[in-house]
Amino acid sequence: MKVLVPVKRVIDYNVKVRVKADQSGVDLANVKMSMNPFDEISVEQAIRMKEAGQVEEIVVVSIGVTKNQETLRTALAMGADRAILVEATDNAENDIEPLAVAKILKGIVEEEQPGLVLLGKQAIDNDANATGQMLSALLGWSQATFASKVEIEGDKATVTREVDGGLQVIKVNMPAIVTVDLRLNEPRYASLPNIMKAKKKPMDTKTPADYGVDVTPRLVTVKVTEPPARQAGVIVGSVEELVDKLKNEAGVI
Amino acid sequence: MAVLILADHDNETLNDQTAKSVTAAKAMGGDIHILCAGSGCSGVAAQAAKLDGVAKVLCASDDAYGHDLAEPLADLIVSLAGDYEHLVGGATTTGKNVMPRVAALLDTNMISDISAVESPDTFERPIYAGNAMAVVKCGDPKKVITVRGASFDATGEGGSAAVEEIAAVANPGLSEWVEDKVISSDRPELTSAKIVISGGRGMGSKENFEIIDKVADKLGAAVGASRAAVDSGYAPNDYQVGQTGKVVAPDLYIAVGISGAIQHLAGMKDSKVIVAINKDEEAPIFQVADYGLVADLFDAVPKLEAAL
């Protein structure tokens, strides 16, 4: 089976984001960029399935700017076999919307014919949590979102999903779309020899037009602002004082 | 045009999220209809019909809808979509699972996790884990939306909407439910609790969470955890408050042994009153806390329990 793993290049999760003064977006200049953390988990899952003999080839794809090559090389260094870069914009500030990403991925799925697509449940920049579900809809495939366990047997996958209040286990027909949650695995770090080897792995470059997709945004961003700041509070000296304040000042207990 | 809200429920009880989605829908304009899709869910439909501002409840009771599977539910919503401009779900694991599928089938982009309705086509939503707020305008004829429960008050009762039974649509049969592993608890649900007490990495072990449980029992509070505590195996994942877990906005949030990583703050900073108990006075959690107590939690938390 071939597995397709889309990966997104986002602001590193440790970076404190700054909103631009003109309210047009978040400042991406000279900011460390990394692979979306949820996508690292899906790459790791694909590699573990290959190590277990369930997968023959892992194809990673990234949609964005030329620099997304770095994100793809990271995935190749972790253990993916081949990469596809879709250059959809020349400006990293133009976030390609989930619907357009899903349409491009649909085109790639039709070409590559994977048996499984593993995606991160959400990107930590736009927080949309939509691409996997949309791709599944466009392909008419089954979907299993927020996976913390994935087991494939023949033409079915049993997926444990992280849902509000606990876990849900479902069985889905293959081919399937699975979006991954935090607890599925802990992604590996690429070793130096593997980073060197990754430089020689094949990477194709495509454009949205190759898949007949228009990436013009459907949602217009009117403005991006800082969230309202909380006022600094007080440090209390003791548990007794805390309880007194909560009872008599805040009135919450 | 009207608004269709997908009800969040467990086939018996309507989740509070639905009443919050109704509040958001009131700002979108038009009649508000609620879709209760489930198995044997007529009781839920009756509860939804009582919500203030609801004009009609559509009840689709069929085994295909009993476990919130995305594919049949999305097909049902799409079959009804012609009559509606806004299709709304909660930003719950059900809404997040189903609504983007609906959006793609209707060829419109998803408007996820809205925190305010500025006008019928313009919405505010947090991005970068709530470290920035984006206002987006949707020009498409259909708007598919999920509503962040923590940002809206629940609408009251007092309505008496008509309940209309509707037939199921064909089930694509792509997936089947196997089992639910629901952790049963006498405590309130995390996202709707008035008081939440959460533990972080400072708790040190799963066993130590017991001191948090005791305070929660005295206060009738829900128990949460930071991602660090969940990653360390001290607490189950559904306790997780933060960007990658649940977003809560209780009247009182007590953070114990939580340093206040950006990812955690994203999930609780809209709480009305925040209390932080941490031995590190430099911990970023104190910058958002209304009341901070610099103390060893193993000393302070039992004292807190005794004082309540």
Tens place of pLDDT for every residue, chain B, 308 residues?
A: 899 999 999 999 999 999 999 999 999 999 999 999 999 999 999 999 999 999 999 999 999 999 999 999 999 999 999 999 999 999 999 999 999 999 999 999 999 999 999 999 999 999 998 889 999 999 999 999 999 998 999 999 999 999 999 999 999 999 999 999 987 778 898 988 999 999 999 999 999 999 999 999 999 999 999 999 998 999 988 899 987 788 899 999 999 999 999 889 989 988 999 999 999 999 999 999 999 999 999 999 999 999 99
* Tokens at B8, concatenated: 């969040």
**Mean pLDDT throughout A235-251?**
95
Are A166 and B181 inside 8 Å of each other by CB?
yes
Are A222 and B136 inside 8 Å of each other by CB?
yes
Which string of b and e fits B5-33 if b means at least 16 CB within 10 Å?
Answer: bbbbbbbeebbebbbbbbbbbbebbbbbb
Are B172 and A130 inside 8 Å of each other by CB?
no
Are B174 and A125 inside 8 Å of each other by CB?
no
pLDDT computed for residue B130 by the predictor:
86
Confidence band for A230, pLDDT divided at 50, 70 and 90: confident
Within 8 A by CB and 6+ apart from B156, the residues are B19, B51, B52
Q: Which residues of B touch A183 (CB under 8 A)?
A: 230, 237
Which parts of A85-215 fold into alpha helices (H)?
A: 98-112, 131-139, 192-198
Query: Half-sphere exposure (CA, 13 Å, Cβ side) for A225?
Result: 9
- Cis amide bond preceding A175, omega within 30: yes
Asked if residues B90 and A187 have their Cβ atoms less than 8 Å apart, the reply is no
Are A99 and B109 inside 8 Å of each other by CB?
yes
Sheet holding B32-38, edge to edge: B110-114, B143-147, B84-90, B2-6, B32-38, B56-61, B162-165
Q: What count of other Cβ atoms lies within 10 Å of the Cβ of residue B90? A: 27
Q: A14-49 pLDDT, tens per residue?
A: 888 999 999 999 999 999 999 999 999 999 999 999
B interface mutation test: which of A12, A105, A252 has the most B CBs within 10 A? A252
For B237: left if phi > 0, alpha if psi spans -120 to 50, otherwise beta; the answer is alpha
Q: Which residues of B touch A158 (CB under 8 A)?
A: 178
* Tokens at B140, concatenated: 């498409």
Confidence band for A104, pLDDT divided at 50, 70 and 90: very high
* pLDDT over 90, % of chain A: 92
Residue type, B180: D
C-alpha distance from A146 to closest chain B C-alpha (Å):
8
Residues A131 and A61: their CA atoms lie apart, in Å, by: 13
| DSSP assignment letter at B79 | H
Q: What share of chain B is helix, strand, coil (3-state, %, to 5)?
A: 35, 30, 35
pLDDT computed for residue A232 by the predictor:
75
Q: What count of other Cβ atoms lies within 10 Å of the Cβ of residue B251? A: 15
Partner A, chain B 44-73, Cβ-Cβ below 8 Å: 67-71
Asked if residues B242 and B267 have their Cβ atoms less than 8 Å apart, the reply is yes
Q: Which residues of B touch A138 (CB under 8 A)?
A: 104
Residues B244 and B246: their CA atoms lie apart, in Å, by: 7
Q: Using CB atoms, pick whichever of A13, A138, A168 lies closest to residue B104.
A: A138
What mean pLDDT is reported for chain A?
96
Determine contact: B26 vs chain A, CB below 8 A. no
Q: What share of chain A is helix, strand, coil (3-state, %, to 5)?
A: 30, 30, 40
Are A236 and B286 inside 8 Å of each other by CB?
no
End-to-end CA distance of chain B: 51
Q: Using CB atoms, pick whichever of A17, A164, A171 lies closest to residue B178.
A: A171
Within 8 A by CB and 6+ apart from A196, the residues are none
| Phi, psi of B181, rounded to the nearest 5 degrees | -115, 85
CA distances from B139 to A19, A99, A133, B143, B170 (A): 25, 15, 22, 9, 31
- The interface predicted TM-score (ipTM) is 0.95
CA distances from B22 to A128, B83, B190, B227 (A): 21, 18, 20, 31
pLDDT computed for residue B200 by the predictor:
97
A interface mutation test: which of B140, B291, B297 has the most A CBs within 10 A? B291
Q: A123-137 pLDDT, tens per residue?
A: 999 999 999 999 999
